Amino acid sequence: DSGVTQTPKHLITATGQRVTLRCSPRSGDLSVYWYQQSLDQGLQFLIQYYNGEERAKGNILERFSAQQFPDLHSELNLSSLELGDSALYFCASSVMESYGYTFGSGTRLTVV
């Protein structure tokens, strides 16, 4: 157990729907990062939060949004889902922005 908790582990939904992925960082970690990993693809950075504030944005679609709450857990909202959104979504956390990440186990999203 890495200490980073992601729920749910698996999610199957239909095109056009909206889902919310949840991440609880390791105790003491203030930074949360979201990455998308498609089949046979690398890790694509989506967005980062630090202590409740958005700090960096990657190639995140306008249909996707995220936030970090006062208790430091984060949610990634994916709407108007398309087949191409099927992927593994990882959350990672770090105590400071200059340190390495600890990844959660991911949420496997399947859009049908």
Partner 1 sequence: GENVEQHPSTLSVQEGDSAVIKCTYSDSASNYFPWYKQELGKRPQLIIDIRSNVGEKKDQRIAVTLNKTAKHFSLHITETQPEDSAVYFCAARRGSARQLTFGSGTQLTVLP
Total chain residues near partner 1 (CB under 8 A): 23
SS3 category, 11: strand
CA distances to 9, 89, 93, 95, 107 from 100, rounded to whole Å, are 23, 18, 8, 9, 21
Residue 27 lies near partner 1 (rule: CB under 8 A): no
Residue 95 lies near partner 1 (rule: CB under 8 A): no
CA distance 25 to 47: 15
Instruction: Work out how close the CB of 5 gets to partner 1 at its nearest, in angstroms, rounded to a whole number.
Output: 11
Q: Which of 42, 53, 62, 70 binds partner 1 (CB under 8 A)?
A: 42
- The number of beta carbons lying within 10 Å of the beta carbon of residue 5 is 16
Q: Residues interacting with partner 1, by CB under 8 A?
A: 2, 31, 33, 35, 41-43, 45, 48, 50, 55-56, 58, 90, 97-98, 100-106
